[in-house]
């Protein structure tokens, strides 16, 4: 099994690209070992000690190393865990756990029904233009809401904590949304 390693704009995160699907649908972000309890693979990666984030994409796993961690030491360990897991065809999630995008209940989106057409346009642009580009960098962006001209987005994977995430939001995504949806005046991280 071949696993390619790619740099991401976030120097703390590496993207491990597989020849097979990781997630059949959606993405999954694990920001802590507690979040990883539903996934044996994420638990194994966090057990390395230097891992502070794990993200599953369509055909990749992004791993974020903690402050001071060295990829020369961490990368072979991550590769070993990934190879063992996928070569053995182990399940990505424990039985009965949610395998797709998970949004904690306290973060549920409640958009104004009067903005339904605007929200639909925003979501379509995010799905077709933004998410594929961000996935190339080992991350994802999730729509969190629209309120009085401001779009709220949650950055995940390599995008979370990336030094260039603010530039991506402001210069890339905000410009795109303002161009196609004039009602958008601002984009903020949720």
- DSSP-assigned letters across all residues of 13-51: EEEEEESS-S-SSS-EEE-STTGGGG-HHHHHHHTTSSE
Q: Which residues pair with 188 in a beta bridge?
A: 152
Residue 54 has pLDDT above 60, yes or no: yes
Pick the CATH number of 3-87 from 3.40.50.300, 3.40.50.720, 3.30.1370.70, 2.60.40.3080: 3.30.1370.70
* Fold held by 107-189: GMP Synthetase; Chain A, domain 3 (3.30.300)
Number of Cβ within a 10 Å radius of residue 38: 18
Domain with CATH 3.30.1370.70 in the chain: 3-87
Largest CA distance in the chain: 53
Domain with CATH 3.30.300.130 in the chain: 107-189
Residue 99 has pLDDT above 70, yes or no: no
Average pLDDT, the chain: 87
What are the tens digits of pLDDT across the range 128-169? 988 888 888 888 888 889 999 999 988 887 777 777 777 777
User: What is the three-class DSSP state of 68?
Assistant: coil
What are the tens digits of pLDDT across the range 28-49? 999 999 989 889 999 999 999 9
């Amino acid at each position: 099994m071949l696993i390619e390693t790619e740099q991401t704009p976030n120097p703390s995160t590496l993207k491990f690209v597989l020849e097979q699907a990781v997630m059949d649908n959606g993405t999954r972000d694990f920001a802590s070992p507690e979040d990883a309890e539903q996934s044996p693979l994420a638990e194994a990666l966090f057990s390395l000690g230097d891992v502070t984030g794990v993200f599953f994409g369509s055909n990749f796993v992004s791993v974020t190393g903690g402050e001071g961690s060295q990829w020369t030491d961490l990368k072979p360990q991550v590769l070993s865990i990934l190879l063992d897991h996928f070569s053995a065809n182990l399940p990505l999630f424990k039985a009965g756990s949610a395998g797709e995008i998970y949004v904690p209940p306290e973060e549920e989106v409640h958009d104004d029904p009067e903005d339904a057409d605007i929200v639909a346009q925003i979501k379509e642009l995010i799905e077709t233009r933004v998410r594929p580009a961000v996935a190339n960098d080992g991350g994802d962006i999730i729509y969190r809401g629209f309120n009085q001209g401001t779009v709220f987005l949650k950055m995940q994977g390599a995008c979370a904590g990336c030094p260039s995430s603010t530039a991506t939001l402001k210069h890339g995504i905000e410009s795109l949304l303002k161009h196609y949806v004039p009602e958008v005046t601002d984009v903020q991280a949720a």
